[in-house]
Structure 1
Amino acid sequence: MDAQETRNAKDTAQRLRAICDEVSDRFYERADVVRTLVVTLLAGQHSLVLGPPGTAKSEMARELTGRVEGAAYWEILLSKFTAPTRIFGPIDVAALARGEYRQIYDGRATTAHIAFIDEIFKCSTAALNETLGYLNERIYHPESGGKPISCPLIGAITASNELPAEEDSAAVYDRLLVRIEVGYLADPSNFAALVRSAVRRPVASARTTIELAALRHAVSEGVPAVDVPDEIVDAVCALRAALRRKELVASDRRWRQAVGLLQASAYLDGRPAVAGADLSVLTHVLWDSPAERPTVEREVLQLVNPDAKEALVLADAIEELEAQLDAMAGQSREALSDWVIKKAHNKLAMAGKRLERLRAEAVGAGRSTAAIDRVTGRQRAVRARVLTEALGLDASMVRAQF
C-alpha cells in the first residue's frame, strides 16, 4: 500500500468512526450495535438486528446506511405474500404489450449497493431461493430465464422481531453472519432523556458521510490487506475448542467468514493488524439461539477483555437481586425495606462502584467498554426498581445515594 492509499484508508476509517459516534449519540445504548453494523458492512457481510418492536431497528439502519453518498439504497418490509418481482423488479408492462417479457430493475434489490430488509424471516416461499442467492452469491435469476444478473450489493442489514420458526426461513438465518440482539432501554437516565427528546425541538447535529467509492475500496482492498497475526489464529482456535466443550458448534464457513470481521474491526480502528480486542465482535457471530449468546460472550471475553469478564460476573449478582425482588412481590413494605437494607443496598452500591472502576481501567487500556456499559445499564435499572417498588421512592429524584 503506497502513501496515498494509506492516507485514503486512514481518512475512510476516520469518517466511519465519526459516523459511528454520531449515530450512537442519537440512539441511546446502541454504540456497540452501530459499530458492529459498520464492521459487518466493511467485511462485505450481512447482519441481523433481532429485538422486539419499538427498539429503533429500522430507524437506526436507515440513519446508518444513509451516510453512504452515491450508493443505491433499497429497503423492503417482507411478508409471506411478497412476490419475487416486488423484490427484484416488476414486469415491464409496456414491453409485455409488445410481446416482450422484461423486468424493470431500477430501484430494486437487483441494483442496490446497500439493502435494509425488515421482517426478513417472513420471506415468501416463492422468493426464498432468489433471496438466498442474492444474499449468498449476489446474483439474481431473471423470471424469463437466461444468464444470472450480478448484483452490486455490498451488504444487507436485516431486522426481525423473532427468530425463524420454519425450516425454510432457517436457511436465510444461516446466511446472516452477524446477529445482534437489542432490547428496550435499560438505564433509567437514558429513558428519561428519550422522553424529554419527544417534546424538545431537534437540534441540527454533525452528519459525516462517506463516498461509495471509498467504502467499496475499503471492502475490496483495505480490509483484506489487514494482517492476521499467528497469535490471533491461536486465539481463534482456542475459542473454537472452548465452545465445543460447551457443545456450541459453528460451521467452518462461519469461522472463515468471521476472520473478515476481525480484519474489518482492525481497519475501522485504523490498525494494520488484528489485535485481541477485535475478537469481541465474535460474540455476535457464534450463537444460533439467544440463550447461547451469554456463554459465547463469556468465552470470548475470557480471551480478550478481563474487565468485561468481571462485569459479567457482577451482572449475575445483579440479575439474582432482581429475581429476589420479583419473588418478593406482594410482601409488606417492612419486609421489602428490610431486604433492601440487609442485601440489595450494599450489593448494588458495590457493583456500581466496581463497574465505574472497571470502565476507567478499560478506557485507560484502550479496551472496549460495551459489555461494561451494558451491565451498568442493568445495575441502574435494577436500582431504580428497588427504589420505586421496594422503598416507594421516586428513582428520578435520587442521585448520589444508594
Structure 2
Amino acid sequence: MIDTMSTSTKASDPAATATALRTITEELSDRFYERTTVVTALMCAVLAGQHSLLLGPPGTAKSELARDLTGRFTGARYWEILLSKFTDPKRMFGPIDVAALTQGTYTQIFDGRATQADIAFIDEIFKCSAGALNETLALLNERLYHPENGGAPIGCPLLSAITASNELGESEETSAIYDRLLVRLEVGYLTDPSNFAALIRSAVAAPAPAAVTTVDLADLRHAVTAAVPAIGVPDAIVDAICQLRAQLRRSELIASDRRWKAAVRLLQAHAFLSGRNEIDEQDLQVLTHVLWDSPTERPAIERAVLQLVNPDDLKALDLSDAIDELAATLDSMAGQSKESLADWAIKEANGKLGKAGKELEELRRDAVAAGRSTATIDRIIGLQRAVYGRIMVEALGLNPSMVNQP
C-alpha cells in the first residue's frame, strides 16, 4: 500500500505540472514491474481527457495500478465500480432520494456517484448491464447524464476514466463502449524471473513507505483543458499521420476518423508530458495503443508506426521476434530432460540472446546520441533480459538472484 502520509508536489504552472506528472510515471514504473509503457500511456490518456482500457488476465495488478495512478490527483473526486450484467444504473449514477420522494418529489442523490466524479475506475467494463449502457456511453462520450425523472441532462465533470477487463466484449452493445476507449493496453503476467522474485519478496518484506508525488486537481484540469490543447502540431506531423493512415489502409487496418482525430490530443499529451511545446515524431509511437481493435493487430500497427518514426526501433522489433522465438522454443521443451534443456541453453539460446543484447545496447546508444526516444528499445531490452532469466532458471536451474545478464 502507498504511504498515506505522502507529500504533494504543488504545480503552479504547466511546466511544473508536467514535471510532477513525469515524476509520478517514474514512481509508478518503479513500483509496478514491467509496466513502464502502460503507465506512460495511461498518464497520456488522462492528460488528453480520454479513456483507457487495461486488458489482461486476473491477477496482473490492473486494479492496483489504476487506483495508484488515480490516487495521485489530490482534490479529485474519485469513483470506482465493479460492473456486472445486473448492475442497476442508479447504483452508478445516483439512487432515488427516498426522503424527497415521501414529500412527492422525485430526485436522485448524486454525491459519490459517477455523475460527480472527476476521475473514475470502471472494472469489468464489458459487463455493463443493458439498462446502464446508454447512460454509460453518454458519460464517457459526452460527459452527460440524463436523470431518471426526465429532466434536463446533467453535465458531469469527468476528466478521464480508466477501465479494465479480463477479456474483450463480444456483443454489439459492448463494441459501442469499446470504441469510446481511446487507449488500449495489454497487460500480462511478469516474465522476468528477477522481477517475479522481487514481487514475492515484497509480500513478506514490504519496503518502507515512501513519500509519493501528487498533482492538485486544479493543475491537472488546467493541463487537460488549456496546456495540452496549446501544444503545437507541425505540418510535418500532419503529413506523417496521413502517410501512416494510408499505409495501414493498404494493410486493411482501418481506424475511424473519430479515433484518428482524438489521437491528435493524445499526441499533444505525450509531448506535454515529455516537456515539449510541440509534437515531434517520437510522440507518434503512442499511436500503437490507439489504432488496433484486436490484440492480433497490434504488432502490425507497431511496425507501421516505427517504420515511419524510427528505423532503429524497427530493427529492435526484428530482434524482439528472434527473442520471442527462443521463448516459444523454451515453452515447447517443457517436460524434456534437464540435460536436453541445458544443452540447448548453452549451445544455442545463450549465444543468440547475448548477441541480441549487444545489438540492442548499440541501438540504444545510437538513439541516445541522436536524441531519439529509447522507449521501444528499452522495452525489448527488458524482454531480452526476461527471456535470458527464464532460460537460466528453467533450463539451467539457477536461482533468480544468481542470474547475471549477458
TM-score, with normalisation over the residues of structure 2?
0.93
CA distance in 2 between counterparts of 1:68 and 1:304 reads 33
Pair 1:228-2:233 in alignment: yes
C-alpha distance after superposition, 1:169-225 (max 9, x if no partner): 111001001101111112222112111211224323232211211111111111111
C-alpha spacing 1:203/1:122, structure 2 compared with 1 (3 Å): same
Q: 1:347 matched to which residue of 2?
A: 352
Pair 1:114-2:119 in alignment: yes
CA distance in 1 between counterparts of 2:205 and 2:393 reads 27
C-alpha spacing 1:11/1:329, structure 2 compared with 1 (3 Å): closer
What residue identity is the alignment partner of 1:287?
Answer: W
Q: 1:192 matched to which residue of 2?
A: 197
What residue identity is the alignment partner of 1:186?
Answer: T
Q: 1:35 matched to which residue of 2?
A: 40
CA distance in 2 between counterparts of 1:369 and 1:64 reads 23
Q: 1:3 matched to which residue of 2?
A: none
CA distance in 1 between counterparts of 2:96 and 2:17 reads 39
C-alpha distance after superposition, 1:29-52 (max 9, x if no partner): 112111111111111111111111
Q: 1:379 matched to which residue of 2?
A: 384
CA distance in 2 between counterparts of 1:270 and 1:165 reads 39
Pair 1:214-2:191 in alignment: no
* Coordinate RMSD, CA, aligned: 1.8
What residue identity is the alignment partner of 2:150?
Answer: G
C-alpha displacement of 1:119: 0.7
Q: 1:160 matched to which residue of 2?
A: 165
C-alpha spacing 1:108/1:301, structure 2 compared with 1 (3 Å): same
1:271 corresponds, among 261, 276, 282, to: 276
C-alpha displacement of 1:83: 0.6
C-alpha displacement of 1:161: 0.8
Retained in 2: the 8 A contact 1:68–1:212? yes
C-alpha displacement of 1:15: 1.3
Shifted more, 112-121 versus 308-317: the winner is: 308-317
Q: 2:7 matched to which residue of 1?
A: none
CA distance in 1 between counterparts of 2:275 and 2:24 reads 15
C-alpha spacing 1:192/1:388, structure 2 compared with 1 (3 Å): closer
Shifted more, 144-153 versus 183-192: the winner is: 183-192
CA distance in 2 between counterparts of 1:385 and 1:378 reads 10
C-alpha spacing 1:203/1:335, structure 2 compared with 1 (3 Å): closer
C-alpha displacement of 1:17: 1.0
Q: 1:322 matched to which residue of 2?
A: 327
Pair 1:280-2:300 in alignment: no
Q: Percent of aligned pairs with the same residue? A: 67
C-alpha displacement of 1:61: 1.1
1:144 corresponds, among 142, 146, 149, to: 149
CA distance in 2 between counterparts of 1:130 and 1:13 reads 33
What residue identity is the alignment partner of 1:36?
Answer: A
CA distance in 2 between counterparts of 1:302 and 1:206 reads 41
Retained in 1: the 8 A contact 2:193–2:393? no
Q: 2:31 matched to which residue of 1?
A: 26
Q: 1:104 matched to which residue of 2?
A: 109
Alignment of 1:63-142 (within 5 A): 63-142=68-147
Retained in 2: the 8 A contact 1:46–1:177? yes
Q: Mark the runs of 5 or more structure 2 residues left unpaired by the alignment.
A: 1-10
CA distance in 2 between counterparts of 1:253 and 1:161 reads 26
C-alpha distance after superposition, 1:343-401 (max 9, x if no partner): 2221111112222233333344443333223322332332233334433444542325x
C-alpha displacement of 1:7: 7.4
Retained in 1: the 8 A contact 2:46–2:159? yes
C-alpha spacing 1:392/1:59, structure 2 compared with 1 (3 Å): closer
Retained in 2: the 8 A contact 1:22–1:206? no
Pair 1:57-2:62 in alignment: yes
CA distance in 2 between counterparts of 1:121 and 1:83 reads 15
Shifted more, 153-162 versus 26-35: the winner is: 26-35
Q: Mark the runs of 5 or more structure 1 residues left unpaired by the alignment.
A: 1-5
C-alpha distance after superposition, 1:246-272 (max 9, x if no partner): 110000010001000111111112211
CA distance in 1 between counterparts of 2:267 and 2:91 reads 35
Retained in 1: the 8 A contact 2:194–2:389? no
CA distance in 2 between counterparts of 1:320 and 1:172 reads 35
CA distance in 2 between counterparts of 1:393 and 1:203 reads 29
What residue identity is the alignment partner of 2:138?
Answer: G
CA distance in 2 between counterparts of 1:362 and 1:56 reads 31
Alignment of 1:244-323 (within 5 A): 244-323=249-328
SS at match of 2:106: coil
TM-score, with normalisation over the residues of structure 1?
0.94
CA distance in 2 between counterparts of 1:24 and 1:395 reads 21
